[in-house]
């Protein structure tokens, strides 16, 4: 197992949920745009027996792969290298074309020069508190174990004012080795009193703690995420969503954030970052 620099208590991502199957669904906020803007992107194109060629960014790694996205107009499999199996064709490409909020009109396609680059918009899971004068105090090593970390996380997540929590391991990570929590910093956001939340953590955790204010609780963010998904899941441009724990906000992966899509989302909650997948050329 490879351990990353930081461990978050929750990063909740939702994607591949029938996007592109919007016929007859009046809940989609998509309105065709007449803007004549040329975009470029690195994306995955797939065609199976259930639909025509579609542009995707989140892909199920089955064989053949599966995904859903907006229809791609002007696509010709005879002009690009691709794989095929069981009635499905797919490939990974550099794409240039136009987007009208419903369909992507391809003008050029070539081999991808790198992986799909999702602009996730996630805030780094580092420590937002400045070190105290003299540096962080020595921890109580008997209470900086994985069990203590788990107990502190459970205690924090049981609080309605919890805005999210994560552990910052700094640079003290060795690839393929279990983390050493003895010098880790437990970070937590709260909509309530900072000292009260710190006391909740310190009852279980013997290491260093950073508590910062949150604009909204984690429960509110996840409730917003579910409600927003219910409103935009069939929008052709929607691809994925996640909770940005350290940023105390949601991230929505969309081809482009149209005015109609923004209004639909912001009617639910205002702490949303739109990670746009198509870049103007």
Domain ranges of the chain: 28-111
pLDDT 10s digits, 42-77: 999 999 877 789 999 888 888 998 888 899 999 999
- The pTM (predicted TM-score) of the whole model is 0.80
pLDDT averaged over every residue in the chain: 85
Question: What is the C-alpha to C-alpha distance for residues 151 and 129, in angstroms, rounded to an integer?
Answer: 22
Looking at the DSSP bridge assignments, the partners of residue 74 are none
User: Nearest-5° angle of CA 129, CA 132, CA 137?
Assistant: 110
pLDDT of amino acid 33: 65
User: 190, 163 in Cβ contact below 8 A?
Assistant: yes
Return the higher-pLDDT residue of 138 and 158.
158
User: 261, 29 in Cβ contact below 8 A?
Assistant: yes
Look up residue 268 and give its two tokens.
Answer: 């639910």
Question: What is the C-alpha to C-alpha distance for residues 197 and 156, in angstroms, rounded to an integer?
Answer: 8
pLDDT 10s digits, 216-231: 999 999 999 999 999 9
Looking at the DSSP bridge assignments, the partners of residue 213 are 190
Phi, psi (degrees; rounded to nearest 5) at 153: -65, -45
Look up residue 143 and give its two tokens.
Answer: 């209470």
Question: What is the C-alpha to C-alpha distance for residues 260 and 254, in angstroms, rounded to an integer?
Answer: 13
Look up residue 213 and give its two tokens.
Answer: 């204010």
Q: Which residue has the tokens 């639910």?
A: 268
């Amino acid at each position: 197992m490879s351990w990353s620099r930081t461990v978050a208590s929750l990063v909740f991502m939702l994607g591949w949920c029938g996007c592109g199957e919007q016929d007859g669904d009046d809940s989609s906020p998509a309105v065709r745009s007449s803007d004549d803007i040329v975009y470029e992107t690195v994306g995955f194109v797939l065609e199976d027996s259930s639909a025509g060629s579609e542009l995707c960014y989140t892909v199920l790694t089955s064989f053949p792969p599966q995904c859903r996205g907006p229809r791609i107009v002007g696509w010709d499999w005879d002009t690009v290298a691709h794989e095929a199996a069981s009635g499905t064709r797919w490939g990974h490409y550099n794409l240039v074309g136009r987007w009208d909020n419903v369909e992507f009109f391809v003008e050029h396609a070539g081999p991808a020069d790198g992986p799909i680059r999702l602009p996730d918009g996630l805030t780094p899971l580092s420590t937002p508190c400045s070190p105290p004068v003299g540096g962080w105090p020595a921890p109580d090593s008997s209470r900086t174990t994985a069990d203590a970390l788990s107990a502190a996380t459970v205690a924090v997540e049981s609080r309605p004012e919890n805005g999210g929590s994560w552990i910052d391991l700094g640079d003290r990570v060795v690839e393929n080795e279990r983390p050493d929590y003895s010098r880790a910093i437990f970070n937590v956001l709260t909509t309530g009193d900072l000292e009260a939340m710190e006391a909740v953590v310190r009852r279980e955790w013997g290491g260093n703690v950073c508590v910062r204010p949150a604009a909204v609780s984690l429960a509110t963010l996840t409730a917003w995420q579910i409600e927003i998904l219910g409103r935009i899941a069939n929008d052709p441009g929607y691809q994925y969503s996640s909770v940005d724990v350290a940023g105390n906000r949601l991230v929505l992966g969309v081809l482009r954030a149209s005015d109609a899509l923004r209004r639909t989302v912001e009617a639910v909650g205002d702490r949303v970052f739109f990670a746009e997948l198509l870049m103007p050329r």
